[in-house]
Structure formats: C-alpha cells, structure tokens
Chain A
Amino acid sequence: MDVRSQISMLFHLDKCIGCHTCSIACKNIWTDRKGAEYMWWNNVETKPGTGYPSKWEDQNIYKGGWKQDGTGSISLKGSGKYKGLINIFHNPYLPLLEDYYEPWTYKYLDLIESPAGDDQPTARPVSLVTGKEIDIKTGPNWDDDLSGTPEFARHDSNFKNLTSAEKEAMFQLDKMAMFYLPRICNHCLNPACVASCPSGAIYKRGEDGVVLINQQVCRAWRMCVTACPYKKSYYNWNTGKSEKCILCYPRLEAGLTPACMHSCVGRIRYLGVMLYDADKIKEAASAPEDELIDRQLDLILDPFDEEVIKNAKENGIADSTIKAAQTSPVYKFVKVWGLGLPLHPEYRTLPMLFYVPPLLPVMASLSDANNGEQAGKLDPIAKFWDRNTLYDTSTDSIWGTIEQARFPLKYMANLFGSGSEGIIKEVLKKQLAVRLHRRNVTVGDIEKDFVEKVLKDVNLTPELADDIYNMTSLAKFDERFNIPPAHREQALDMLENTGDLKGSAGFGFKEKPVRGL
C-alpha cells in the first residue's frame, strides 16, 4: 500500500445557479494576461450543450484521454511516446483558437473621440490577437442557457446512444430541462496531460496531488492540450507555453480556498483531503468500462483504518493531513454517502473532482395543481407562489418518477456513469430519499412508514440522511472547505512572496514571462 494524499473536490450540481462568479474570480486572478484571454481554467457550461471548447467531449475529434485495448493495458489516445513524437511537427488533433473563441475587446475610445455627426458612434469589436476589427462568431459561454437550440444542445455528444425519440422528448418545449456543469482541472490520479508531455514539464505534486506545468521546462510541444480529455490544459499563444488550472496552490498553501470555491455563490463546492493507494492506480485505470467507477472509489482509503494510518505515516504524510482526511467533506460525499461521481470516468484519467448529479431538473415536472388530490398535498407556501401549477416532486410511486425522468437517465449516465444507468439511479434515489425524509421532518405530510421504507431502500438511516442534508444545505464555509496545513516550515521555498510576482507565470521563478526569440 503506497498511501498518498490528494486535495480533491466535490461539486453539488443541484445547487449550481450558473452565475459564473467562479469563472470570473479565476479569470481575474490568473488569466487576464496576453495570450491567456481565451482561457477559462474554470468554466460553467449549460447541459445539454456543446461546452467549451466546442464539443470537447467528442474524443473522435480531439483524441483526449486513455484508451484500453482488449488486453487490459491502456495507452494515450492521441499522443504518447510514439504518436506524440511523430506528430510533434504538426499535431493533427490540436484544438484551435476557433474551437474556443477569438478573444476581443471594443474600441471604446471611438465612443468619445468620434467627430460629431448624425449617427451614434459605436464601439467596434477588435481581436485581442491581431488587434484588427473582427466579426464576433462565438464567445465565452456563447451557448449559455441555450439548451434546446439546434446549434448547441443537439450537438451535445452525450446523446450518442439515445434513440431519436428519447432525444426529441428532451426538446419538447414544456419538457425542456437543463443544468449547469462547472468544470476545472480534475487534478487526476492518472493524468493524461502528465503522460503526454514530451519534455516532462507537467507533474503531480506528491504532497497534495495538484497537477502543474513547469513553465521553464514547457517547450510548446502542445501534446497536453490534446491529451487532456477535459481540455483543461491550454496553450498560451503569446508566451509559447501551456498553462492550466493550478488549484490556486499558492492560496492552498496559505490555508485559503481556491478562488473559484471561495467565491461560489451557490455554495456548491466542497474541498478536502482524500487518502489513496498509489499502487493500485494503474489497475484501476485499466479496468473494464463498467467497473471503472467502483475501482476508482476502491483506490480511496478509509482514513480511520489503523493500517491505512500506519502506512500513511510511514509515507511521510503529516498527522494534520491524516486528520483533515478524516474530516473531509469530499470523503463523506464520495465514500461514506456514495453521492459523488467522477465526470466521464471512461476517459480513464481517474479525475479527483466529483459531482453530485442534479436531481431537480432530472425528475421534477410541471403539473396541474388543481387536480384534486395533488392540490391537497401542496403546502401553503407553494400555493402562494403559483396557484395553478406545481413543481412536481410528488411522492407516489416514488422510484417511478426517476425512471420517467425529464432527463433520460441514459444522458446522465453518459456524463457521470460511464454509461451505466444503475449507478446514476442509485445516487438520484438517495438524494430523493433525503428530500422525502426532510419533508417528513419539516412539513410532516408524508407517511412516516413510507419514508422509513424509502430510506431503507437506499441503505440510509435518518441520521445519515440528516448528515447529508446538513452538509448539503447548511454547511458553513469551514465545513465545506477542509484544507490541511501545507507545512511550509518544512519546505521554506515552496512558494516565494506572491505579491512580488503577480503577473509572472507561476511563482517558482523570477524571470518575467516574456516570449523568447
């Protein structure tokens, strides 16, 4: 057992309101520089939709991630030792600026300095790359909230195995649903970006698992951009170096939360330590597709287990880190409650950012509230909001509602279950059970026996359900973010004075990040 620690994350999608505060926080700190304008280390996309960069999930185009051949060994899909070096002069799978968008600004000065005339002056858009006037074709979050539109939603690659009837059902005006998917680098356990870098510039930090690109070693071979199936490694066209989310490691080391998490308005984000067994990474990453999630969860170790603690100590993991692992909210969501799932586990990078799949858009539907029995079930507040319709999460034939969900389970399974609907259903049922339990506690209009049966069905106790509810809805800042001390006293130069170096590429060196000749 080779115990290591990883700072991992959990996003509770039911709570994301799609406000993009996270993206802006990140942009303001890290990517408002020349060459990085188009990068969104944190982005929030609307699902169904094509995302950013456009159709990033379609690995037939981008060739990201790992593939497993029949024998059970894995190799990088579009890069790797041989393919990477052969394609080094021209990488056929490289996403281009057009696949993201061409960054622009406006000629604001024209508004003020134009000579007086009959027409209102306008501020024409100019490209931030060439400085020339451009016609804007797409921009950041161009498809925001456009689920249902032919250009975007229908090109979502997660529809691949849905029948056209199922697909069409999703686009009916009165059934249309959507949810938001915030994404950052997953700081994977089997990172494809690291494996694809010919220069060896990308590495995973042993202490906390943050994946970083050494700006002094990167030589613009661009393979990581192809290899990362989540397209979270970006090429800075100005400095000629690739860059990616650094999980705000300078903040983490100082005990602060990453900026995107800190600013999250919906409080959907959780961050905490998990201990894992590095010996089993390869095995887990090469598992058959339907076992991928289970194997990945098996990697994550029980921080209360004596054996694990002993091995962790032998491996130099600090006591404070072990303690943080025991109190980690992510560990609870993922391992104890079984609510967190990785995004697209079939890419085999073992992402360490987990998602609680959204329940509401999946199962709620609008129904007529005045039809007798239903109307009687409404609580007074709901009636006050809207007399005629009910946002129906009704309790009869409880698991049936999930089967007939507005979002076909298959779609959700393509995102979070590597195709297995069973796994998704399990998680949604649990969430629904917690809801019913709380409804029973607070409103009391549901039979107690019924709730008990429901909880038992999903292996929850009322206590566990309350824990889930507390962590989901009431948790304060310090409960959501559990950051172990970085022990900088033991590594004095882990980080230099950040203030001195703002505007530089990374904190490790003092050279200005100026493009070379």
Chain B
Amino acid sequence: MALSNNFFFIGLPYMALIVFLIGSIYRYRSSKFTYSSLSSQFLETRKLYWGSLPFHWGIVFLFFGHLTAFLFPRSVLLWNEVPIRLVILEITAFVFGIMTLVGLANLFYRRLSNPRVRKVSNYMDIILEILLLTQVFLGLWVAYGYRWGSSWFSIVLTPYLNSIFLLNPQADAIFVLPLVIQLHIIFAFLIIMIIPFTRLVHFLVFPLSYLWRPYQKVIWNWDRKKIRDPKTKWTIHKPTNN
C-alpha cells in the first residue's frame, strides 16, 4: 500500500511535472507548427456554442479557484470564516463545475456525432475528453460529498502541493484521504502529464500579450537603416520589428 501510495502521490506528480515541462518546451521548439487550438468552429458552430462556451468559462474559473486556494490559503480561510460567505463560494464553484461538465459532455457528443468534426478528431482528443470528463465528475463528487473543500483544501492540499514544489514531498496526509479525493488528485496529475501530447498546449500559448502589443505589426527582413551604410558589417540584419 505504502508503495503504491508513494508512487501515486509522490512519483506520479514528479513524473507528470517533468514530462509536462520537458514535453511542452520540446514540442514548442521542435514543431511549433503543431501548437494550435485546432478549432473546428468553421465546420460546426451551433453545438460548439453550447459546448465550448460553458466548458471554457467553467474550467477557467475552476482553474483560478484551485490556484487561489493553493497560493493564498490564508485569504481563503479568512473569507470562509463567515459561513454565508463559505456557502456562496462553494455554490458558485459548484455551479461552474456543473457548467464545465455540461459543456464537456456537449463537446464530447459533438465530436462523436458530427461527421465533419469526427474527421478532424484524433485518438488523443478522445482520451483527453474522457480524462477531463472523469476529472470534472470526480471534482463535483468531492465538492458535494466531502464538504467544504475550499476550507480543507487550504489545510490538507496546499501543504502537500507546496511540499511537492519545494522538492520535499510530504504526502502522509493524502494517504488517508477518501478514495474519491485521491482519484481526483491522480487524474489531475495524469492530465498535466499528457498536456504536451494533446491540443491542450493551446492554453500555454494563450495570447494575453495581445492586450499590450500595438495593433499593427511590420517585420523587416533586414535592418533597413544599417543596410545602406557601407561601413556596417555583413553580419547584422536579422528581422527586427517595426
């Protein structure tokens, strides 16, 4: 038991993080062309609307929710001191969870039922969607069955995750958690591990920088001011911007 526990809650996380890091960087450097969200909206838009929107907004909220609980456990606990605030937080999170699940289910159904979308699906898309469906379902189960997650996350999981990141893994508290929660953790790391092998890489290149770049973009093949000057050396002039 201890062995498998150690594997799932210490070995797997490190494996996942290493594969994720090396894999994504390697893929980015060696085959940038494959970094894409691979949108299929062009082929089918109605069903996508009912899938993509709830799924994406839901998962974004859940992601940042988990991140907040991990990064600012004390603030979360402070917020939860007043019961009504705790309930509001939990209900909101649960609603977003449902949204994500419904969105995902719609997306999954769309992928299988629409012949055009099927044509542009590959096996990794299917695996990923099944993993995500299971994970969101487990998450909802945890939220419903082991209340109140936002509070105990800060006490149990934050220290565990911290210990992982600080390279001093302390997983004893996890070993005694209920199976559903353990599974939720395992699936989380599994998903992190397969990121580089799926279209999930698109969230790594989410174009936030759009917000602060100028609208227009001009690229020169060579440094146009220097190129006319006979005294400049031959070696400069790689593309510069604007």
Q: Which residues of A contact B (CB under 8 A)?
A: 81, 84-85, 89-91, 94-97, 129-132, 190-191, 194-195, 197-200, 202-207, 215-222, 225, 235, 237-241, 281, 313-318, 490-491, 494, 505, 509, 511, 513-517
Whether, in the assembled complex, B124 has its beta carbon less than 8 Å from a beta carbon of chain A, the answer is yes
The stretch among B48-56, B78-86, B88-96, B184-192 that forms the contact with chain A is B48-56
From B48, B210, B237, A81 is in contact (CB under 8 Å) with B210
Q: Is the CB of A490 within 8 A of B36?
A: no
Q: Is the CB of B207 within 8 A of A199?
A: yes
Shortest CB-to-CB span from A5 to chain B, Å, is 10
Q: Is the CB of B34 within 8 A of A517?
A: yes
Q: Is the CB of B120 within 8 A of A207?
A: no
Whole-angstrom CA separation of A219 from B45 in the bound complex: 18
Give the residues in chain A near B118, CB-CB below 8 Å.
130
Known contacts A221-B37, A517-B122; is A316 also within 8 Å of B42 by CB? Answer: no
Whether, in the assembled complex, B233 has its beta carbon less than 8 Å from a beta carbon of chain A, the answer is no
Whole-angstrom CA separation of A506 from B36 in the bound complex: 17
Whether, in the assembled complex, B220 has its beta carbon less than 8 Å from a beta carbon of chain A, the answer is yes
Known contacts A130-B119, A240-B36; is A90 also within 8 Å of B41 by CB? Answer: yes
Give the residues in chain A near B43, CB-CB below 8 Å.
96-97, 129, 237
Shortest CB-to-CB span from A157 to chain B, Å, is 22
Known contacts A96-B45, A203-B217, A237-B42; is A90 also within 8 Å of B37 by CB? Answer: no
Q: Is the CB of A91 within 8 A of B36?
A: no
Whether, in the assembled complex, B31 has its beta carbon less than 8 Å from a beta carbon of chain A, the answer is yes
The stretch among B161-169, B171-179, B221-229 that forms the contact with chain A is B221-229
Q: Is the CB of B220 within 8 A of A206?
A: yes
- Name the interface size band of chain B: 35 or more
From A94, A203, A218, A219, B41 is in contact (CB under 8 Å) with A94
Shortest CB-to-CB span from B48 to chain A, Å, is 6
Whether, in the assembled complex, B39 has its beta carbon less than 8 Å from a beta carbon of chain A, the answer is yes
Chain B residue at smallest Cβ distance from A216: B32
Whether, in the assembled complex, B116 has its beta carbon less than 8 Å from a beta carbon of chain A, the answer is yes
Chain A residue at smallest Cβ distance from B201: A516
Q: Is the CB of B42 within 8 A of A194?
A: no
Shortest CB-to-CB span from A228 to chain B, Å, is 14
Contact with A along B38-70 (1 / 0, CB 8 A): 111111010011001100110000000000000
Known contacts A200-B207, A316-B228, A516-B33; is A240 also within 8 Å of B216 by CB? Answer: no
Q: Is the CB of B45 within 8 A of A194?
A: no
CB-CB nearest 4 A-B residue pairs: A516-B34, A316-B224, A198-B207, A206-B220
Q: Is the CB of B37 within 8 A of A240?
A: yes
Whole-angstrom CA separation of A44 from B86 in the bound complex: 63
Q: Is the CB of A515 within 8 A of B218?
A: no
Give the residues in chain B near A132, CB-CB below 8 Å.
115
Known contacts A241-B36, A509-B33; is A89 also within 8 Å of B52 by CB? Answer: yes
From A81, A129, A239, A516, B119 is in contact (CB under 8 Å) with A129
12 sample A-B contacts, Cβ–Cβ < 8 Å, listed by A number: A85-B210, A90-B52, A96-B42, A198-B207, A198-B210, A199-B210, A219-B202, A220-B202, A235-B42, A240-B36, A490-B227, A516-B38
Q: Is the CB of A89 within 8 A of B57?
A: yes
Whole-angstrom CA separation of A317 from B227 in the bound complex: 9
Q: Is the CB of B219 within 8 A of A206?
A: yes
Whether, in the assembled complex, B213 has its beta carbon less than 8 Å from a beta carbon of chain A, the answer is yes
From B36, B120, B216, B224, A190 is in contact (CB under 8 Å) with B216
Chain B residue at smallest Cβ distance from A517: B124
Q: Is the CB of B219 within 8 A of A238?
A: no
Give the residues in chain A near B113, CB-CB below 8 Å.
none
From B41, B125, B225, B227, A222 is in contact (CB under 8 Å) with B41
Shortest CB-to-CB span from B24 to chain A, Å, is 12
Whole-angstrom CA separation of A225 from B39 in the bound complex: 13
Chain A residue at smallest Cβ distance from B215: A195
Q: Is the CB of B209 within 8 A of A200?
A: yes
Give the residues in chain B near A216, CB-CB below 8 Å.
32-33, 35
Q: Is the CB of A130 within 8 A of B210?
A: no
From B124, B217, B226, A202 is in contact (CB under 8 Å) with B217
Shortest CB-to-CB span from A103 to chain B, Å, is 12
